[in-house]
Copies of this chain bind each other. A is one copy, B any other.
């Protein structure tokens, strides 16, 4: 099945079919209808290789990520693939280190060598302003996914995720259970999302009239080991927290391991909450209370936005809200008199 077959069937030229396939505007509605019917009848799908070879770009987008989490990567890839398949685009995965200097130049070369149509930038790459500015200057179309409570007004299209609100919800959940001393294990300082989650945590405490305590907020990275060490430090405090909020599920898994290694029972001695709804959070014991992030859906939207933009259509920013998922790792605090060490 080629353009010519469709053209013959519809009684138009191949070029007109090409116009319809690419969503160009200068086609009369009735002509467009005829072509679309022919495409459907013949089950025509454009040949990516030919389009890419002939056109000014390869009809393929790049998904740029700097994230060690396999589940996240798979989910993002899945979402991007869904959008690309539906819109007849190809996909290239592009891991990178968001902290290296010259990242914008690397990405530019990547785009040019493969003649990519555009990029979807995920966090934390999407938060490096200098890189964004350069990519824009290189005239590379991109859409970014960022953590923000409301739509950024810098004119660069994006999908934004309200981490702050979700972190507020988790903290409020703990407060409503009766916890007052709530530890916060921060991770991924290079991720703006981590600042947003901290902010949500602090907002909730303030809103419930609970004093913020520096010793309960511990810095680290988005990794298991930092969750483990951070939680250990919290447990060693004169007055340890009765609940811990890990900035993502991996940190929370580390905190869970730390509790178990210390002989503390979760959730009776200490409640633990994560963020992400990764399989970690379901495959631990007890399973983790967390915030569900649909990375696949978010990336799919971002990909669709990017392709629309490449086609010269107008696109508006979109927002997503993570959703609280309560599981067995959070419970009311044990009355002080009955709290004890075990093990």
Q: Chain A: residues with CB nearer than 8 A to chain B?
A: 45, 47-50, 52-53, 58, 70-71, 73-74, 77, 81, 93, 113, 224, 228, 250, 253-254, 256-258, 260-261, 265, 279-280, 282-286, 342-343
Give complex CA distance A81, B343 in Å: 47
Q: How far is the CB of A147 from chain B (nearest CB, A)?
A: 22
16 contacts between A and B (CB under 8 A): A47-B53, A49-B50, A49-B53, A50-B53, A70-B71, A70-B74, A81-B93, A224-B279, A224-B282, A224-B283, A256-B285, A257-B283, A257-B284, A257-B285, A258-B285, A342-B342
- Residues of B close to A70: CB separation below 8 A: 70-71, 73-74, 279
A253, B285: Cα distance in complex, Å: 9
* Cβ–Cβ < 8 Å partners of A77 in chain B: 93
Query: How far in angstroms is the closest Cβ of chain B from A190?
Result: 21
Tally of this chain's copies: 2
Among residues of B, the one whose C-beta sits closest to the C-beta of A259 is B285
Known interface pairs A282-B224, A283-B224. Does A260 touch B260 (Cβ–Cβ under 8 Å)? yes
Q: Which residues of B contact A284 (CB under 8 A)?
A: 253, 257, 284
* Cα(A250)–Cα(B71), bound, Å: 14
Chain B residues near A113 (CB, 8 Å)?
Answer: 45
Distance between Cα atoms of A110 and B321 in the complex (Å): 36
Q: Give every chain B residue within 8 A of A52 (Cβ-Cβ).
A: 49
CB of A170 to closest CB in B, whole Å: 21
Residues on the B chain within 8 Å of A73, using CB: 70, 74
**B residues less than 8 Å from A254 (CB atoms):** 283
A276 to chain B, nearest CB (A): 13
Shortest 4 CB-CB distances between A and B: which pairs? A257-B285, A70-B70, A49-B52, A49-B53
Known A47-B53, A48-B49, A77-B93; further 13 A-B contacts with Cβ < 8 A: A49-B50, A49-B52, A70-B70, A70-B74, A70-B279, A74-B74, A224-B279, A228-B285, A253-B284, A257-B283, A258-B285, A265-B343, A280-B283
- The smallest beta-carbon distance between A295 and chain B, in angstroms, is 11
Q: Name the residue on B nearest A342 (C-beta).
A: B342
Cβ distance A328 to chain B, nearest Cβ, rounded Å = 10
Closest chain B residue to A47 by CB distance? B53
Query: Please, which residues of chain B bring their CB within 8 A of the CB of A45?
Result: 113
**Distance between A294 CB and nearest chain B CB, rounded to angstroms:** 15
A70 to B224, alpha carbons, bound, how many Å?
Answer: 17
> What residues of B have a CB within 8 angstroms of the CB of A258 in the complex?
285
CA distance A93 to B73 in the complex (A): 14
With a CB–CB cut-off of 8 A, which chain B residues contact A93? 77, 81
CB of A44, distance to nearest CB on chain B (Å): 12
In whole angstroms, what is the CA distance A253 to B257 when docked? 12
A48 vs B285: C-alpha distance when bound (angstroms): 48
Question: Which residue, of A250, A283, A284, has the highest number of chain B Cβ atoms within 10 A?
Answer: A283
| Shortest beta-carbon distance from A261 to chain B in Å | 5
B250 and A283 within 8 A (CB)? yes
CB distance from A99 to the nearest CB of B (A): 21
Residues of B within 8 A of A74 (CB): 70, 73-74
Residues of B within 8 A of A71 (CB): 70
